Structure 1
Amino acid sequence: MGLKGKLTAQIEMRAGGDVFHELFRFTPHQIPKMSPTTIQGCDLHQGEWGTVGSVIIWNYTHDGKPKVAKEVIEAIDEEKRSVTFKIVEGNLMELYKAIKASFHVETTSDVDLVTWTLEYEKLKDDVEDPLTLLGVCIKLTKDIESHHLKTT
């Protein structure tokens, strides 16, 4: 069994992929209002919202427990409507040597799809693959979609 891995999930976004990308890029601090059972806080620790190199601290629920993640925005691509976060501190670093979360939005046949990708390296072979963390990303996406569909 390998220590490195990659997980991907793709979710249809009926509320619009641009809305999703803009939210994560410029106003992620609004996400706790849209998905309070998943994200309890999002604070800018360093830099400016929506810029590469900025540091964000997330308070979230994973496997029914409160967790914290400190992330650096590693890349933003407007054309691909993507953002890549590298986790540098927090609960996940107890299990993983490295972990990145990224998403991109693509439109095919007038359908917006949000694709989440988790790239990771486990500290030990007996560490579980972060499938439940990918589940958090899926739930978050659906909560954001539901919030925007209610307000439009």
Structure 2
Amino acid sequence: MALHGDSSGEFDIKSPADKFFTSFADDISSTFRIISKEKRTVTLSLSGNLVSDSYKRFKATITVTPAEDEDNGSRVVWTVELEKIRHDIEDPMWIIDILINYLKETDENLNI
């Protein structure tokens, strides 16, 4: 496995883009180091024992854009860039799964 890698994806949500982005960005600001935050895009650095024991760098960027018909929700695009400490470290799909689930749960909570 390569030491450097990236993964990305996208999915639709029900929430308006500004409402979702504000809720998400405010919530993560106390947990993650935000590298940049502008125009419905946030880039953050993940750290802590589970991440720093295996990865030199783990950066996630999340962008939220409104649907053409703003009443039909928004689109979330996520990208994760990483650098492993060693070749034998597994790809971090579990971290990416947690991120995606968190984004989807945020949308669900805003639409209750």
C-alpha separation between the residues in 1 aligned to 2:14 and 2:47? 32
Cα RMSD of the aligned pairs, angstroms, is 1.8
In the alignment, structure 2 segments of 5+ residues that lack a partner are: none
Aligned residues: 109
Q: Percent of aligned pairs with the same residue?
A: 26
Q: 1: CA distance between counterparts of 2:12 and 2:4?
A: 27
Q: Is the 8 A contact 2:16 2:66 kept in 1?
A: no
* 1:46 counterpart residue number: none
Counterpart CA distance in 1 for 2:99 and 2:66 is 19
Give 1:106 deviation, angstroms: 2.1
**Corresponding residue number in structure 1 for 2:2:** 2
Look up the equivalent residue of 1:85 and give its one-letter code: L
Residue 106 of structure 1 pairs with residue 106 of structure 2: no
Q: Of the candidates 84, 93, 96, which is equivalent to residue 55 of structure 2?
A: 96
- Among 36, 60, 63, which residue is 1:75 paired with? 36
Deviation of 1:120 (Å): 0.2
Would you tell me which structure has more strand in proportion to its own residues?
1
Are the equivalent residues in 2 in contact too, given 1:116–1:137 (CA < 8 A)? Answer: no
Residue by residue over 1:114-148, the C-alpha shift from the partner in whole angstroms, topping out at 9 and shown as x without a partner, is 11111100011111111121111111111111111
Q: What is aligned with 1:118? A: 80
On the 8 A contact 2:3/2:85 being kept in 1, the answer is yes
Highest RCO, 1 vs 2 (Cα 8 Å, sep ≥ 6): 2
Q: Which of the pair is proportionally richer in helix?
A: 2
Give deviations 1:29-56, integer Å, cap 9, x for gaps.
xxxxxxxxxxxxx6xxxxxx6xxxxxx4
Partners of 2:67 and 2:104 lie apart in 1 by 19
Structure 1 SS opposite 2:86: coil
Show the counterpart of 1:86. Answer: 45
Structure 1 unaligned residues grouped into runs of 5+: 29-41, 43-48, 50-55, 58-70
Q: Is the CA contact (8 Å cut-off) linking 1:9 and 1:138 kept in structure 2?
A: no
Equivalent residue for 1:14? 14
- Which position in structure 2 is the counterpart of 1:133? 95
SS in 2 for 1:102: strand
C-alpha distance in 2 between matches for 1:89 and 1:141: 20
